Amino acid sequence: MPHAGTHDAVLVALSVLIAAAASYTALDLATRMRAASGWSSRAWLITAAIAMGGGVWSMHFVAMLAFSLPGLEVGYDLRLTLLSLALPIAVTGLGFFVVNRPGAGPAALCLSGLVMGLGIAGMHYTGMAAMRMPADLRYDHLWVAVSILVAIGAAVAALWLAFNQTGVRQRLLAALIMGLAVSGMHYAAMQGAVFSSEAPVDHAHGSASVSQMHLALWVTGTTFLILVLALAAAMFDRHLSQASEREAAALRASEERFRLLLQSVSDYAIFMLDPDGRIANWNTGAERIKGYTAHEIIGSHLSRFYAQEDLEAGVPATALETAAREGRFEAEGWRVRKDGSRFWANVVIHAIRSEQGQLVGYAKITRDITERKQAQEALDQAREALAQAQKMEAIGQLTGGVAHDFNNLLMAVLGSLELMGKRLPDDPRLRRLLDNAVQGAQRGAALTQRMLAFARRQELKPEVVDLPDLVRGMTDLLQRSIGPRVRIETRFPLGLPRVMVDAHQCELALLNLTVNARDAMPEGGTITIAGREAGAGDAASLPDGRYVCLSVTDTGTGMDAQTLARAQEPFFTTKGVGKGTGLGLSMVQGLAAQSHGRLLLRSRLGEGTTAEMWLPMAEASARHAEAPGPAIRQRGSARALTVLVADDDGLVLENTVAMLEDLGHRVVEARSGHEALDLLRRTRGLDLVITDQAMPGMTGAQLAQTIAAERFDVPVILASGYGEASEAHQTLPRLSKPFDQATLARAVDEAVGVDLACRPA
């Protein structure tokens, strides 16, 4: 007879709870499966399949334990029971795998749900077939169809929820609904099951036995333990994943900030190199400095930036080897831009190593310091020029002092020889010896004039000079001086402005330059003397003002850079011993400087030399002309005068006194300015004062100022071997040492206002 059987309410409730818990666990594990990749994703897929399939089987098993036929003993076949456990796990895993594949769409979802639903339904009926009892079992086809549809629907819903983003609340609600659906599938199938037994059934006992209850609780506990462990693993993995995501986000943010930092730096080229020296990234500064864009340069070797000479010397490889060995490499040198231009770079390369110490690449920083190098070179040149100027100034001071003392010696020698010549008997041999001595002393005087010219202490008488006329007037002299093997050409433009210069000294300077040019052409050649007005390109090398250039160009051997740098130094010469004093160019340079101009030399070895003497135009340099002296007073006759002579050098003083006495004058001697002033205050009837300029305690100019201040009506003549031009004594009559007796006589007559034509022989 047919029996419907009974269900234990407690176990029914446990079965529904198991289905809901398994559904929630499967949905939660599915989120980990989506978040993971590779073997981790597959591990979570298997875990989700076990949780879902195993949970459905546990629900089914507990629900079967809740079912009983009173009076009948029910047993289970072990193999079919295990098969019913494996079946839902397998189909659930297959469904998760198919739907989790990239590009899976609705069709794959429906097909997987169909297979998974049929597998779950198959699990139920396999479990029913595992029952062993003294009764026959048959099914109502309608309820079978309903149970299968419910299983398929629950499977599709589970797969869809598993691979869509859901929150905790959505998963709880979905798990409850799926639990009811899965358990509903079971109980719908049980509703369609009809049991027939010949034995009587005791309907008074409609609850499960104690052994069934214990087994159900054990299965339930085991299932929940497994589900809890799975949820704990998912929670722990989620925590780690979130921590990793936060670290990854922080790392990405840090990398982005670092990238923005590098990109914002435009003064430095900062980029990475791989261990082989190939460029891995590129910043804005690198693009600005080197000219390459990122897509043009990434992947290229750093040797692309090096000059050819550095490549031949192996500099790039040495730089990487040094950085790898010592951790850091720094150097300066020329680097090449994309357009081929060069720049001076400061390069720093740092080796980058992993935590294990393995070389993973290099960080390279390049800075364009071309402007700093140029500024440093300009500073070095300025320092060198300053040192050279200080050296020349020191030499000039020394030379001027030596020339002054030498002038005093020559003064005594020439004056004494001149006076001696008046007293010698008319003996030709003695006269010839005297003439030789005078000529030697005069050559010494010429040498001191060159030394004073270099020291800028010679006395100049600037006047307006027309350079073409000056050169034409001395062409014959120049040609005789250099000989027939050298030809002279002159090139002067029409209307060349006149200059302000001492004409006599300018002639000497031109003669010096011409002789130097001849000496530079031992095989003969051409000397070109030219003039031109300063142009825009000449302004940088000249002081402010308007200038005219008098140049002497030869076709000789020329000079190298080292010789050219020293050519204007005093006593420097490339000529043989006895063939030059080394003061020619120094004299010309001193004349140009004292005339408020400049001497420039241009030369290359084998290409000849050009000496340019730049002189101020007459209009621009009128302020430099000497002020006119005071009008000569007409004092009277050529009578014998009483003259006060002051000089600290005894030889010069004695020589001057002798020449004045030989001229018929009475002389009072003083060896200092203070002594001369005392004598002037104590002595009456003094007609003239002749004083040396460079005296200790009181200079000649200071003595003249004191005489004028105390209103002594006495003219003053200033005698000096220097060419000082201070305002204090510019207006005084001058007597340049060394002077002869005739020069002294003219100076005396001019000072006291005597007409030279009326002077008796």
Q: Which residue has the tokens 């140029």?
A: 374
Long-range contacts of 373-376 (CB under 8 A, 24+ apart): 373/344
pLDDT of residue 637: 38
pLDDT of residue 446: 66
Residue 10 vs residue 401, higher pLDDT: 10
* Pairing label, strands 268-273, 359-368: antiparallel
Here the tokens at position 650 are 């005894």
Residue 622 pLDDT > 60 = no
With cut-offs at 50, 70 and 90, classify the pLDDT of residue 482: confident
Residue 499 pLDDT > 90 = yes
Here the tokens at position 347 are 């390069």
The residue-averaged pLDDT of 175-204 equals: 67
Q: How far apart are CA 469 and CA 462, in angstroms?
A: 16
Q: Where in the chain is the domain with CATH 3.30.450.20?
A: 265-368
Q: How far apart are CA 113 and CA 157, in angstroms?
A: 8
Q: Where in the chain is the domain with CATH 3.40.50.2300?
A: 642-758
Residue 202 pLDDT > 50 = no
Residue 757 pLDDT > 80 = no
The residue-averaged pLDDT of 16-38 equals: 75
Question: What DSSP character marks residue 556?
Answer: S
Q: Other CB atoms closer than 10 Å to residue 407's CB: what's the count?
A: 25
Note the CATH number of domain 265-368. 3.30.450.20
Q: Which of 4-8, 179-183, 678-682 has the lowest mean pLDDT?
A: 4-8
Residue 207 pLDDT > 80 = no
Q: Which helix (H) or strand (E) holds 17?
A: helix 9-35
Total-model pTM: 0.44
Residue 99 pLDDT > 60 = yes
Please give the radius of gyration of the chain, using alpha carbons only, rounded to the nearest integer. Answer: 60
Q: Other CB atoms closer than 10 Å to residue 528's CB: what's the count?
A: 17
pLDDT of residue 620: 45
Residue 275 vs residue 180, higher pLDDT: 275
Q: Which residue has the tokens 């080897």?
A: 321
Q: How far is CA 711 from CA 342, 643, 683, 687, in A?
A: 74, 18, 15, 14
Assigned CATH topology for domain 463-624: Heat Shock Protein 90 (3.30.565)
pLDDT of residue 540: 66
pLDDT of residue 577: 44
* Pairing label, strands 2-3, 193-196: antiparallel
Residue 194 vs residue 528, higher pLDDT: 528
With cut-offs at 50, 70 and 90, classify the pLDDT of residue 310: very high
Q: E-assigned strands of 473-604?
A: 486-491, 499-501, 525-533, 547-554, 598-603
Residue 483 pLDDT > 70 = yes
pLDDT of residue 297: 92
Here the tokens at position 127 are 């479990």
Which among 290, 386, 298, 295 has a CA at the least distance from the CA of 342?
290
Q: In percent, how much of the chain has pLDDT > 90? A: 21
623 backbone dihedrals φ, ψ, rounded to 5°: -65, -20
Alpha carbon dihedral 426, 430, 434, 437, in 10-degree steps, equals 170
The residue-averaged pLDDT of 515-531 equals: 89
Interval 360-412: pLDDT, tens: 999 999 999 999 999 988 888 888 767 766 666 666 566 656 666 777 777 77
pLDDT of residue 203: 43
pLDDT of residue 330: 94
Measure CA of the first residue to CA of the last residue in the chain; give whole Å: 188
Chain length of the chain? 761
Q: Which CATH code, of 1.10.540.10, 1.20.150.20, 3.40.50.2300, 3.90.1150.10, is assigned to 642-758?
A: 3.40.50.2300
Interval 538-550: pLDDT, tens: 766 777 888 999 9
Q: E-assigned strands of 547-597?
A: 547-554
| 663 contacts 642 by C-beta, under 8 angstroms | no
Interval 226-276: pLDDT, tens: 778 877 877 887 777 778 888 888 888 888 887 787 778 888 899 999 999
pLDDT of residue 631: 40
Which among 617, 614, 613 has a CA at the least distance from the CA of 510?
613
Q: Which of 201-210, 420-429, 492-501 has the lowest mean pLDDT?
A: 201-210
pLDDT of residue 666: 92
Residue 219 vs residue 505, higher pLDDT: 505
With cut-offs at 50, 70 and 90, classify the pLDDT of residue 348: very high
Residue 17 makes CB contacts below 8 A (sequence gap 6+) with: 179, 220
Residue 333 pLDDT > 90 = yes
Q: Where is mean pLDDT largest: 268-282, 445-459, 732-746?
A: 268-282
Residue 27 makes CB contacts below 8 A (sequence gap 6+) with: 158, 161, 162, 166, 171, 174, 175
Which among 521, 491, 515 has a CA at the least distance from the CA of 585?
515
| 588 contacts 531 by C-beta, under 8 angstroms | no
Q: Where in the chain is the domain with CATH 3.30.565.10?
A: 463-624
With cut-offs at 50, 70 and 90, classify the pLDDT of residue 723: low
With cut-offs at 50, 70 and 90, classify the pLDDT of residue 447: low
For residue 738, say if its preceding peptide bond is cis, omega within 30 degrees of 0.
yes
Residue 26 pLDDT > 80 = no
Residue 630 pLDDT > 50 = no
Here the tokens at position 469 are 């006329």
With cut-offs at 50, 70 and 90, classify the pLDDT of residue 532: very high
Interval 644-662: pLDDT, tens: 999 988 888 888 998 899 8
Interval 411-422: pLDDT, tens: 778 778 877 777
Residue 81 pLDDT > 80 = no
Interval 666-712: pLDDT, tens: 999 999 999 998 898 888 888 899 998 888 889 888 888 888 888 67
pLDDT of residue 633: 40
CA of residue 440 relative to chain centroid, distance: 63
Helices (H), 265-330: 284-290, 294-297, 308-312, 315-326
Residue 624 vs residue 513, higher pLDDT: 513
Q: Average pLDDT of the chain?
A: 79
Q: How far is CA 146 from CA 56, 141, 185, 190, 339, in A?
A: 18, 9, 8, 11, 81
With cut-offs at 50, 70 and 90, classify the pLDDT of residue 53: confident
Residue 192 vs residue 605, higher pLDDT: 605
